Amino acid sequence: MPGLDGDQIRRRLADARLYLCTGTRPDLAEFAGEALAGGVDVIQLRDKRAGAPLEAAEELAALRTLAEVCAEHDALLSVNDRADIALAAGADILHLGQDDLPVPVARRILGAEIVIGRSTHDVAQATAAAAEPGVDYFCTGPCWPTPTKPGRSAPGLPLVRATAAAAPARPWFAIGGIDEARLPEVLAAGATRVVVVRAITEAPDPRAAATRLSAALRPR
């Protein structure tokens, strides 16, 4: 929720279970509102359409839309890759992959109040992200090969099991190919938080899909 300080964001992130990445879409505000109403805790604008990358001004406009919806639902707003845009959008989170800005460089741009996340694809990267100064959370995967990240081989659930066994002090999320049917396997491997794309963006009823995922992640 734009406007929180770094410690408030970190506390909310520790409680977060369901993280959604979405591209822009004509119904972005309505879609995001439905997903957040269903129980999504964090929403990231991740627009990777081949051949049609968003211009910075377009990305900022979409993030402003998401920021309003996040404020209505008390959810965290995440920006992918771009520290300058995270700062300009007043985002809570910047997510960085292995080939993106080095964390110390992003930290210099962002200051202390925006939380930084890292993608990891093997045990060495996960171990490093769990300890690297300036990193607040990390993601491990893909759990399964996924068309949402073409060309990325999947370390699979063994990486989730190894990460869970290491009991990192930082929050971490499993990602990649996760849907309602596969979620029990991911939880059994030791994850308690997940990132999804298609499970919600391609669902006929995004709110219902988010509600079911969220309920499975927060059993009573």
Ligand X SMILES: Cc1ncsc1CCOP(=O)(O)O
Question: From the annotation, which residues make up the binding site?
Answer: 44-48, 80-81, 100, 119, 146-149, 177
> Which among 26-34, 93-101, 125-133, 184-192 is the span making contact with ligand LCLJCK34, rule CB under 6 A?
93-101
CB 45 within 8 A of CB 24: yes
Should residue 176 be labelled a site residue for ligand X when binding is judged by CB under 6 A? Answer: yes
The C-alpha R_g of the chain, in whole angstroms, comes to 16
Distance CA 96, CA 109 (A): 13
Q: Compare residues 69 and 183 and give the one whose CB is closer to ligand X.
A: 183
Q: How far is the CB of 197 from ligand LCLJCK34 (least distance, A)?
A: 9
Shortest gap between Cβ of 178 and ligand X (angstroms)? 6
Bridge partners, 79 (sequence order): 45, 94
Return the range that interacts with ligand LCLJCK34 (CB under 6 A); candidates 24-32, 59-67, 92-100, 178-186: 92-100
Q: For residue 130, which of 165, 170, 103 has the smallest C-alpha distance?
A: 170
Number of residues that bind ligand X (CB under 6 A): 14
Q: State how far the Cα of 220 lies from the Cα of 205, in Å rounded to an integer.
A: 23
Q: Which of residues 136-195 bind ligand LCLJCK34 (CB under 6 A)?
A: 139, 149, 175, 195
**Token digits for 174?**
């499993």
How far is Cα 91 from Cα 183, in angstroms, rounded to an integer?
28
Cβ at position 141, least distance to ligand LCLJCK34 in Å: 7
φ, ψ dihedrals at 12, nearest 5°: -65, -35
What is the rounded distance in angstroms from the CA atom of residue 45 to the CA atom of residue 65?
A: 10
- Residue 22 contacts residue 31 (beta carbons within 8 Å): yes
The pair of three-digit structure tokens given for residue 204, joined into one six-digit string: 């006929």
Q: Which residue spans within 106-164 are E strands per DSSP?
A: 115-120, 137-140
Token couple for 31: 């879609």
Rule CB under 6 A: say whether 80 interacts with ligand LCLJCK34.
yes
Binding characters for ligand X, 128-157, by CB under 6 A (x = yes)? -------------xx---x-xx--x-----
Q: Pick the binder of ligand X from 177, 183, 213, 217 (CB under 6 A).
A: 177
Which partner from the list ligand X, ligand LCLJCK34, none does 176 bind, CB cut-off 5 to 8 Å by kind? ligand X
Which positions lie near ligand X, rule CB under 6 A?
141-142, 146, 148-149, 152, 175-178, 196-199
> Interface residues with ligand LCLJCK34 (CB under 6 A)?
19, 21, 44, 46, 48, 80-81, 95, 97, 100, 117, 119, 139, 149, 175, 195
